[in-house]
Structure 1
Amino acid sequence: MTHILLIEDEVKLARFIESELNYEGYQVSIAYDGLTGLTAARELHLDLVILDLMLPGLSGLEICRRLRSISNEVPIILLSVKDEVSDGIAGLDAGADDYVVKPFSIDELLARVRTHLRKRHQADTADILEFEDLSLNRRTRQVYRCQRLIELTAKEFDLLEYFLIHPRQVITCDRILEEVWGYDFMGDVNVIDPYIRYLRLKLEANNEKCLIQTVTGVGYTLCD
């Protein structure tokens, strides 16, 4: 059975989400504070974490950072009460895979859950993806340009991986949001631009040629 950890300090909301997830056939564990949630995330074998941004004891952002620092790659969906792009970006930078703004539709949350579980359980087509002098190891999550190891955040890695799976294809921003961020219902395409800049800076740090090209008015492509 798919195991989901819910870290949420609002008891009524937590129990409501638990009930809906149980109805969908998921096993759910609940933690009502940050420290308990972090411990559970480290010790349980999980398929996904739903994590409130504001928690007693330890914030959702800090939990994300600590999990990613130990290479825990379980998908994380953040719940935020602040309807601001900056909060979502902060969460993604901390290692979250997605975020939902309160108040939210339970159908939307369930759709996000299905999206990330589907991505997690899809069989890898290959462990190593290569293009030109760029190499990405999906198992170790290491990226090399020539012999240079490139440190990427979780979302930067996912974005680059997606380009490597679809080389020489022009990919729209809406498609990137849906496939990489998992926004089934909403999402601001402007969130993509800074991640493209971050990737280019890291991939071209030694003046290597640009591989991620902008297709004006459409999106991006990985090409030589």
Structure 2
Amino acid sequence: MHILIVEDELGIVQFLKQGLQEEGYQITTASDGSKGFELIQSQKFDLILLDWMIPKINGLDLCKAIRIKDQQTPIIFLTAKDTVQETIEGLKAGANDYIKKPFSFEELVERIKVHFRNKKQTENLTLGNITMDLTRHIVLKDEEEIAMTQREFELLAYLIEHKGKVCTRNQILRDVWEINFEYDTGVIDVFMNAIRKKLNLKIEEDYIKTIRGIGYIAND
């Protein structure tokens, strides 16, 4: 998951970037609202951590600008502003959450996980003519439902969520199987073969490619 941090205090940026990268997140940073808005227009982020008091475009105005074109990406305010009126103002601007500085890093990580879970539960995933309805937990190919086991569903969703990026077998074991120790990665190939067989992918439907010796990549 790709997180944008818009924050002008260098110490906080370095602290958050290192900690969140260790949690497995991809991090991009901006030190002012103008740069943050520029990044948001050119890249897709899964969550935004936004300070209120930042140069050029303040966090409140940036949040409003984001919401004009993007209603889905979770935004968490990180700020010293903590009056009831300021909290209400931030939420009305479109923020999903509000954490007062100084804050616990552990609490922030848990809140991020909650927003990602909520985001996943309301999204559909697509890959070519394949659609995954995460709310109803079904897979459709050309509008025909494809029956999959829980693990097959989770593996396919993971590859589509990381569309365009190579997913190594070890990453898949860690994030899908939740295995953080040495384990036979061959089990992933077994599940991938089952998924491909169920989807009955034709030659022109080369949506999931094997990267020999490394893992898999999904692409439209």
TM-score bucket (shorter structure) = 0.5 to 0.7
1:124 is matched with 135
- C-alpha displacement of 1:69: 1.0
Alpha-carbon distance between aligned partners in 2 of 1:25 and 1:81, rounded to the nearest angstrom:
27
Alpha-carbon distance between aligned partners in 1 of 2:47 and 2:32, rounded to the nearest angstrom:
17
1:214 is matched with none
Alpha-carbon distance between aligned partners in 2 of 1:41 and 1:115, rounded to the nearest angstrom:
22
- Encode CA deviations 1:24-77: one digit per residue, 9 max, x unaligned: 000000000010011112221110000001100001111111111123421000
Match of 1:79, SS state, is strand
> Between Structure 1 and Structure 2, how many residues are aligned?
125
1:79 is matched with 78
1:69 is matched with 68
1:23 is matched with 22
Alpha-carbon distance between aligned partners in 2 of 1:95 and 1:56, rounded to the nearest angstrom:
20
**Aligned letter for 1:124?**
T
Unaligned residue ranges in structure 2 (runs of 5+) = 122-133, 138-220
Match of 2:54, SS state, is coil
Alpha-carbon distance between aligned partners in 1 of 2:35 and 2:112, rounded to the nearest angstrom:
22
- C-alpha displacement of 1:82: 1.9
State yes or no: 1:7 paired with 2:6.
yes
**Aligned letter for 2:52?**
L
Who wins on radius of gyration, i.e. which is larger? Answer: 2
2:40 is matched with 41
Show structure 1 runs of 4+ deviating over 4 A: none
Alpha-carbon distance between aligned partners in 1 of 2:109 and 2:79, rounded to the nearest angstrom:
16
Alpha-carbon distance between aligned partners in 2 of 1:71 and 1:27, rounded to the nearest angstrom:
20
What TM-score comes out, normalization by structure 1 length? 0.54
2:96 is matched with 97
- Encode CA deviations 1:93-152: one digit per residue, 9 max, x unaligned: 0001001000111111111111101111122349xxxxxxxxxxxxxxxxxxxxxxxxxx
> What pairs up with 1:105-144 in 2 under 5 angstroms?
105-122=104-121, 123-125=134-136
